[in-house]
A and B are shown apart, each in its own frame.
Chain A
Amino acid sequence: MKAFTYERAKDARGAAQAAARPGAKFLAGGTNLLDLMKIEVETPTHLIDVQDLGFDKIEKTAEGGLRIGALVTNTDLAADERVRRDYSVLTRAIVAGASGQLRNKASTAGNLLQRTRCPYFYDTNMACNKRKPGSGCAAIGGYSRQLGLIGVSDKCIATFPGDMAVAMRVLDAYVETIDPAGQRRAIPMADFHRLWGDHPEQDTVLKSGELITAVTLPKPIGGKHFYEKVRDRASYAYALVSVAAVIQPDGTGRVAFGGVAPRPWRVEAAEALLPQGAAAVTARAFQGATPTKDNAFKLPLATRALASVIAQSKA
């Protein structure tokens, strides 16, 4: 691990200003950042620990939704009575990810900012445009079973690996931030993660020093909530494909897919086809997909996972 200096931030704007300096990074739970620092994929020279900023509460909003502090742990968010009752797709997605130990430390904001688990990103001997812009992509033409098939580019075929964000996408969540000038904004989850294009080194639309303060959920939308995750073992593994869905009694609803793209993959025109069945939805949602021979299995798997959700919604 490269040497770094460390500070505990006292206020959000000060933290944002400190983070705008070259080589600086925020530290929340640290479960992904420290992992990457140990193998020197991440090499910050200064860490700004944000644990004292007080963003550790879940509060009701005036609109009837919930504001989730950026530092609320995955465990506390999944266990919140209001989330379990009104947004259970979110609880289900969180408890489908990582391990109990990691969920106790990982934060809401950190979960959104976790890096891809593409094996070529992790292996510093390999070319990777995300880790080292311009070096190429060893995953293209390499072993790509876990990797993305839609929204990817000829520079990078990595996926966003998380589960929580897929549920938040279905719930139309917003990411609230503050920048070094003290300006605040709310970014729709739909726009938060970038498609790779020519710049896979940029995972999100956050600007230099911009700090996530909260994630807000609009008022509950009812319906039955599902998070169907298909993976190589029963627990503690990343999704090959996941489906977050909220299905209403009339068969309409919302659907987003995880494990397939640089962001939670939701196509509103596709979910409008829910009453026609899973195949209709995925045919539209994955129109223009560019699967490799290794990950082409994800397309029928997505259809079958969604079919399972639809069947459960009718049970």
Chain B
Amino acid sequence: MANRLWRCVTNSQMKENMSKSDLGALSLSRRGVLAGGAATAAMTSAPAAIAQAAASSPMTPAEPAPMMPVSFEVNGQREDLTLDTRTTLLDALREHLHMTGTKKGCDHGQCGACTVMVNGVRINSCLSLAVQHQGDKVTTIEGLGTPDKLHPMQAAFIKHDGYQCGYCTPGQICSAVAVLDEIKRGVPSHVQADVSARPQATNMELRERMSGNICRCGAYSNIAEAMGEVAGVRA
């Protein structure tokens, strides 16, 4: 169990968990377990990491990295940031706005854990620079629902057991919400026999359209069931 969870933890998640965790106390919460495991692994590998950093690059860059202002809305709230131009939308959300619901998985657009909606359309926030999003409206998992007032897709994921470790879940849910909208808008897919026809929210369609969201725990069939319920069809 701990080993499986550990594999889902990325560097940024590790840092966040380390700074927040009390290493002396054992917590039974998922976040606590993650933090304890991550801290142990980080401590054992720290000397190697430091040695590598010293050997490969000077500690201070020759000149400061270019910074730029950018403003966008996140879940209806305007955010004004000044960022290193290299900052991805994902890192702006997690590291600068401290909205850690959106997850960093592969950081290369392959896993879908970082999926958010920008101007109503789902994208991989890891493959987008924050400065590309001046004036955009971003919706993250935090903007879909709250523990007291779940989004119907969040409620359906719980009902149908659409997750196990939960790391890919925010991306899965954002993607799932956007997929149903894409079907409603008539966006075609690879599994349609006739691409000029209106697509239907069949189980096969949902699976095809969710192929950009990877789940290592393998909750795929339950995710499709949850989506089917929200779409109002038998999955």
- Chain A partners chain B: yes
Distance in angstroms from A85 CB to nearest chain B CB is: 6
Enumerate chain B residues within 8 angstroms of A35, measured Cβ to Cβ.
108-109, 127
**B70 to A, closest residue via Cβ:** A6
Whether a CB of chain A sits under 8 angstroms from the CB of B97 is no
Q: Which residue from chain A places its CB closest to the CB of B212 in the assembled complex? A: A99
Query: Does B73 interact with chain A (Cβ within 8 Å)?
Result: no
Contact between A30 and B212, CB atoms less than 8 A apart = no
Stretch of A54-62, A87-95, A207-215 that contacts chain B: A87-95
B66 close to A38 (CB less than 8 A):
no
A34 interface residue (CB < 8 Å to B): yes
User: How far apart are B59's CB and chain A's nearest CB, in angstroms?
Assistant: 16
The answer to whether B208 has its CB under 8 Å from any CB of chain A is: yes
With known contacts A99-B112, A99-B212, A101-B109, A34–B196 Cβ distance under 8 A = no
A101 touches B175 (CB 8 A): yes
**How many interface residues does A have (CB within 8 Å)?**
36
Give the residues from 105 to 141 in chain B that come closer than 8 angstroms, CB to CB, to chain A: 107-109, 112, 115, 121-124, 127-129, 131-132, 134
Give the contacting residue for B182; candidates A5, A38, A91, A100; CB below 8 A: A100
| Cβ contacts under 8 Å, A8 to chain B | 134
| Residue ID in chain B nearest A79 by CB atoms | B187
Q: Which residue of B has the minimal Cβ distance to A4? A: B85
Q: With a CB–CB cut-off of 8 A, which chain B residues contact A1? A: 86
Q: Is B190 interfacial (CB-CB < 8 Å)?
A: yes
Beta-carbon contact of A3 and B127 below 8 Å: no
- Given known A34-B127, A88-B196, A235-B190, contact A3–B132 (CB-CB < 8 A): no
- Known contacts A35-B109, A78-B188, A235-B211, A105 near B86 by CB under 8 Å: no
A51 lies within 8 A of chain B by Cβ: yes
* B-chain residues with CB within 8 Å of residue A88 when the two chains form the complex: 195-196
Find out whether the CB atom of A104 lies under 8 angstroms from the CB atom of B122: yes
Contact A235 B208 (CB under 8 A): yes
Residues of the B chain whose Cβ atoms lie less than 8 Å from the Cβ of A30 = 127-129, 132
Query: Contacts A6-B66, A6-B68 known; A101 to B112 CB distance under 8 Å?
Result: yes
Task: State A78–B209 Cα separation when bound (angstroms).
Answer: 14
Give min CB distance, B184 to chain A, whole Å: 12
Tell me the number of A-to-B contacts counted with CB atoms below 8 Å.
109
A84-B128 contact in complex given A99-B112, A101-B112, A102-B109, C-beta closer than 8 Å: no
Shortest Cβ gap from A167 to chain B (Å): 12
Q: Using an 8 Å CB-CB cutoff, how does the interface string of B81-113 with A read, 1 for contact, 0 for none?
A: 000111010000000000000000001110010
User: What string of 1s and 0s marks CB contacts (under 8 Å) between A100-139 and chain B?
Assistant: 1110110000000000000000000000000000000000
The smallest beta-carbon distance between B122 and chain A, in angstroms, is 5
Bound CA–CA A221/B176 (angstroms): 37
Closest to A37 in B: B86
Given the interface contacts A3-B85, A88-B195, does A75 sit within 8 Å of B187 by beta carbon? yes
CA distance A273 to B110 in the complex (A): 40
Question: Does B86 lie within 8 Å of A4, measured CB to CB?
Answer: yes
- Chain A CB within 8 A of B222 CB: no
Residue pair B66, A5 in contact (C-beta under 8 Å):
yes
**A95 B66 Cβ-Cβ under 8 A:** no
Decide: B124 and A105 in contact? CB cutoff 8 A.
yes
Chain B 180-223 near chain A by CB (<8 Å), digits 1 or 0? 00100111111000011000000000011111110000000000
Q: Identify 25 residue pairs between A and B in the complex whose beta-carbon atoms are under 8 Å apart, listed by A's number.
A: A3-B66, A3-B84, A27-B132, A30-B128, A31-B127, A34-B127, A78-B187, A79-B185, A79-B186, A79-B187, A85-B196, A92-B190, A95-B189, A95-B190, A99-B211, A100-B122, A100-B182, A101-B112, A101-B122, A101-B124, A101-B175, A102-B109, A104-B121, A105-B127, A105-B128
Q: Which residues of B contact A (CB under 8 A)?
A: 61, 65-66, 68, 84-86, 88, 107-109, 112, 115, 121-124, 127-129, 131-132, 134, 175, 178-179, 182, 185-190, 195-196, 207-213
Given A27-B132, A31-B127, 11 new contacts (CB under 8 A): A3-B61, A5-B66, A6-B68, A6-B85, A8-B134, A35-B127, A84-B195, A100-B175, A100-B182, A105-B123, A235-B190
